[in-house]
Amino acid sequence: MKFKIMMGTVAVAALLIVTTVSGSFAAFPARMGTSQSVVTKIIPLSSSEISMLTYMREEEKLARDVYLSMYQKWSDVTFSHIANCEQKHADTLKKFLDKYNLSDPFQDVIGVFTNSDLQGKYDQLLLVGSQSYIGGLYVGATIEEIDMIDIQHAIDVTTHIDVINAYQNLLEGSKRHLNAYVKALSAQGVIYTPQFISQEFYDAILGL
């Protein structure tokens, strides 16, 4: 008799445990499945950040346009390859203009720029590069040096990590491009000397 009572008690206890556990598991997926939308607040760029971002967007276009013109003039795939890279750089910066709801100065016509300073630089660089093949390579190296100086300045004036990361990727690209132009000049018997970056930085780039 006692055995039956004990067995009955164990059965009830087991039933309570199963009920409690199953109830807990039933509620658990409901809590896990509840989706709560996370709203990420976009902190606006400062006027300095906006100025540099829009400038860099067009400066990448300047590099692209000059290199496309140099390719048409001298038929060296070095120019066309790097021009494609510059287009990708410009596209990357366009994504940030869209993200921060900024107007785009990019005019998709070769040699046409919204920024008057960049227009003047393009005209001058195109003139020099059109004189000779070596002149074209020299102009390419010059543009990449200037790009690196401007990109570093753009990094210095922004506090947005996403923008900094994009600029750093562009900087690495400019290093590779400078290296390519210097090697092409060397193949023509020309030793390139840095014009805007330090000799130490230049030597480090060539050692990449």
Task: Find where tokens 């199953």 sit.
Answer: 22
Are 16 and 70 part of one and the same domain? no
Are 102 and 140 part of one and the same domain? yes
How many domains are contained in the chain? Answer: 2
Paired tokens of 111: 């040699």
Are 65 and 145 part of one and the same domain? yes
Cα distance between residue 149 and residue 122, in whole Å: 17
Are 114 and 185 part of one and the same domain? yes
**Contacts with 126 (C-beta within 8 Å, 6 or more apart), sequence order:** 66, 69, 111
- pLDDT score of 24: 41
* pLDDT per position as a tens digit, 139-154: 999 999 999 999 999 9
Half-sphere exposure of 19 (CA within 13 A, CB side): 6
Instruction: Tell me: pLDDT of 175 over 60.
Output: yes
